[in-house]
Amino acid sequence: MPDINNAYALLCVGNSMMGDDGAGPRLAERCAQQPLPGWTVVDGGAAPENDIGYLRELRPAHLVIVDATEMGLAPGEMRIIAEQDISEMFMMTTHNLPLTFLIEQLRADIPQITFIGIQPEIVAFYYPMSAAVEQAVSRLHQCLLPGLQNGLDIAPWQRENPST
């Protein structure tokens, strides 16, 4: 059983030099400025696979992974994406390894993993983060403050046409 201090872990993924892809690292910065009680926050940056060992040792009861994700939504929209959909959908990524690999590596040690995607507006080198994504990061931080007892109030991602 995990220590109460390790009940929740937040893995923030993204490249802060690529506009809205920096949503994850921006959330980690916000958490450093305004800590989330009961959470361990890891800024995985563009190579979150480097944190697999640490997260395995930490053994949180619940891991939340946050990354900019192309979902065909309005910029700043957030969705919880089911693990099976991560590999099936096109996911914009600037990372070295697919997030499905990361989740597979952690599954044995972490009982619950939730992936939250934030729809980017623009992902390009040296662009600033859009206002919509900045606001989404702020909203997500507020959702995480009370922990996960009341849920996240974020809709699940659904395919537009589930028959395909």
| CA dihedral (24, 29, 35, 38) positive or negative | positive
Q: What is the pLDDT of residue 152?
A: 79
Q: Strand 8-13: give its sheet, edge to edge.
A: 39-45, 8-13, 62-68, 112-118, 78-81
Q: What is the mean pLDDT of each run of 10 residues along the chain (164 residues)?
A: 66 95 97 95 94 96 94 96 75 62 90 95 95 98 81 79 52
What is the reported pLDDT for 5?
53
* Beta-carbon-side half-sphere exposure of residue 88 (alpha carbons within 13 Å): 10
Structure letter (DSSP) for residue 135: H
Tell me how crowded residue 38 is: count the other CB atoms within 10 A of its CB: 17
Kindly state the DSSP code that residue 155 receives in the 8-state scheme.
P
Residue 155 is predicted with a pLDDT of 84
Torsion of CA 9, 13, 17, 23, to 10 degrees: -70
